[in-house]
Amino acid sequence: MRSDPPVLRLDARGLTFDVYAGGPAAGEPVLLLHGFPQHSGEWAGVTPRLHAAGLRTYALDQRGYSPGARPPAVADYRLSECVADAVAVLDGLDVPAAHVVAHDWGAMVAWHLAARHPERVRSLTAVSVPHPAAYGHALATDRVQRLRSSYMALFRRPGRAEDVLLALDAVALRAMLTGVGRDRVETYAGPMRDRAALTAALNWYRAMSRADVTVGPVTVPTTYVWSRRDLAVGRTAAMACAQHVTGAYRLVELPGVTHWIPDAAPGPLAEAILARVGAG
């Protein structure tokens, strides 16, 4: 949840989502999906560049992050539910198809959205997290990737993860965000100090299943943006991504940047998005 009021509160699937709209009303639509433990505010450095190029952006606070879309059960956070949310939000915005730009868990949603509902996705720019099958391949074959992903075991432990992340004035949570920029850490850590909000966000991890990496190839034009200093996603997963996209594909590698690309490198990311949107 962001501290500034949303432009729209959109009712969909029995929930109420906060949506931050911007840019020319008649511009081509771009749906922005954030990751953990952030919110739609992670796009603040990117959207002005998209608006200047004539695009209309819709930055969504996803399930668990919008206060009005915080169901209680872990099963409510299955990836299929989050994908259905994105479709319903596009319906509520009266947007038949959008360019989709997504980071971290948002990228997982976006890959499934593009694979299962290609008619709703004009193009895809996935940030940090590759195609789920590429990630699954890396987990199965690369010991280093398994080490990179080992933090998920803690995140899946109800109560224990909250205790660890919030202890000592949320020092672990804030340390995890190293790389977003010192002035931005509290922007994301602040809302997560609400234990209920943190639990809802962690439920995305707790609802994970093997089905999450079982998705077919993506046929829409796609750019994957990966940073070489990403501690969560290594080169094996990044390089395997191309094998799971049959549409036009481009890999953009950013040197010297951590996992938090939208905050750390908004300019290069905006360039990659605009190149993909322009290329179709």
For residue 236, give its domain range: 8-279
Q: What is the pLDDT of residue 6?
A: 74
C-alpha span between 265 and 257 (Å, rounded): 7
Q: Give yes or no for a contact between 70 and 196, defined as CB atoms under 8 angstroms apart.
A: yes
Q: What is the pLDDT of residue 14?
A: 96
Q: What is the pLDDT of residue 34?
A: 98
150 in any annotated domain: yes
199 in any annotated domain: yes
Lowest mean pLDDT among 24-33, 43-52, 80-89, 176-185: 176-185
* Amino acid at the residue 209: S
Where residue 279 falls among pLDDT bands split at 50, 70, 90? confident
Residue 1 clears pLDDT 90, i.e. is over it: no
- Across the chain, mean pLDDT equals 96
112 in any annotated domain: yes
Q: Give yes or no for a contact between 195 and 162, defined as CB atoms under 8 angstroms apart.
A: yes
Residue-wise pLDDT tens digits, 15-73 = 999 999 999 999 999 999 999 999 999 999 999 999 999 999 999 999 999 999 999 99
2 in any annotated domain: no
Q: Give yes or no for a contact between 241 and 216, defined as CB atoms under 8 angstroms apart.
A: no
* Residues paired with 10 in a beta bridge: 17
What mean pLDDT do residues 184-211 have?
A: 96
236 in any annotated domain: yes
Residue-wise pLDDT tens digits, 103-154 = 999 999 999 999 999 999 999 999 999 999 999 999 999 999 999 999 999 9
78 in any annotated domain: yes
CA 191 and chain centroid, separation: 17
Q: ∠ CA 201-21-197 to the nearest 5 degrees?
A: 15
Where residue 2 falls among pLDDT bands split at 50, 70, 90? low
Q: Give yes or no for a contact between 223 and 252, defined as CB atoms under 8 angstroms apart.
A: yes
pTM: 0.97
Query: How many domains are there within the chain?
Result: 1
CATH number at residue 210: 3.40.50.1820
Where residue 211 falls among pLDDT bands split at 50, 70, 90? confident
163 in any annotated domain: yes
Give the Cβ contact number of residue 280 at 10 Å: 11
3 in any annotated domain: no
